Amino acid sequence: MLKLEYKDYTLDFKFDAGTSRGILRKHHVVYLKIYQSSMPDIKGYGEAAPLVGLSPETVADVLEALPDLAEKLEKVTIPIDEDDVWVLVDQLVGMELPSLRFALETAFLDLIGGGKMQLFDNDFTTGSKDIPINGLIWMGEESFMKTQISEKLNKGFKCIKLKVGAIDFEQELRLIEMLRKESESLMIRVDANGAFPVNEVFARLTELAKYGVHSIEQPIMPGQWEAMQLICKRTPVPIALDEELIGVAEFSQKQELLKMLRPQYIILKPTLLGGFKQTLEWIRLANQMNIGWWLTSALESNIGLNAVSQFAGNFSDIGYQGLGTGQLYSNNISSPLCISGAYLGIDTKQQWDLPF
């Protein structure tokens, strides 16, 4: 018999994390623990961390669904492999709760791996290969953003991602110009979170193109397919779809979206997309259509970040990933994850301090 326990937890940001949707100071998450009643010492952990304003569900929705999930789990047998996990999660949790699907997949993979917080077997999980990551610059006063930029460059980051769309666009351009003057080879990514007005988007993209910006995530709000199709076709800066993918559950819907919009890149956040199985479908389609992609955390604590990072380790030569968020919180879960310069790795000498 499978047993489920859970605990809600509030993560505290070390600073006011500014985005175009507002300032983040706290992030509420739910941790899952699954084990067999006959073997209670072997436990699988997962994290449901819906993002306010982005996820279709809330923490309250997740907590409301968990008693029923606990009853269902008592009637199923432990899955035997990844494919079995995908099938079982499809049966247990609907796509209206994507963060819970991700948490349940993670907990099952951990459990069948022996409860060692190793979900996949690859060079990253064994500590022999690190993952290159981008340095994330949060919105705020211009001086605050400049300080972040200096810190990231001093640490050796070769790819910098700036949140844009909340402060004056001319100020943002000055920061990007400063970055470009620092290095001609630096990869600069920007993320608008849908903040650009449709009637201004081409003018802004033209300005960004002057500084050799690698890509821009979600320049306009999602759901405007005709406008986005035109932007992807005519843009001087490659487009990376992010929020546009949320809630697109069926394989045929994914295929339709990518065929119509033809973005240059897509951003994959398993917490928002409904887990690893859903993410693999996006990767399969993107590869078929020669669309680039990379993985990004959705501000999970180290339990969720560990899962996404280990998943990323399954792929070779994937470039800079958005997985450098483990140092955002003052009360994060202690883990073997470590950042050295511009790389995320696993320090096999460090132990987990799990929440319960």
Using CA of residue 54, residue 60, residue 63, residue 64, what is the dihedral sign?
Answer: negative
Is 222 in a helix, a strand, or coil?
coil
Is 271 in a helix, a strand, or coil?
helix
Tell how far CA 298 is from the center of its chain.
Answer: 4
Question: With left for phi above 0 and alpha for psi between -120 and 50, is residue 319 left, alpha or beta?
Answer: left
* Distance, CA of 305 to CA of 302 (rounded, Å): 5
* Distance, CA of 160 to CA of 188 (rounded, Å): 5
> How would you class 170 by CB atoms within 10 Å of its CB: exposed for 0-12, middle for 13-18, buried for 19 or more?
exposed
Tokens of 318: 């994937």
Query: Which residues carry out catalysis?
Result: 163, 269
Tokens of 237: 């800066």
Q: Taking the CB of residue 65, how many other CB atoms lie within 10 A of it?
A: 19
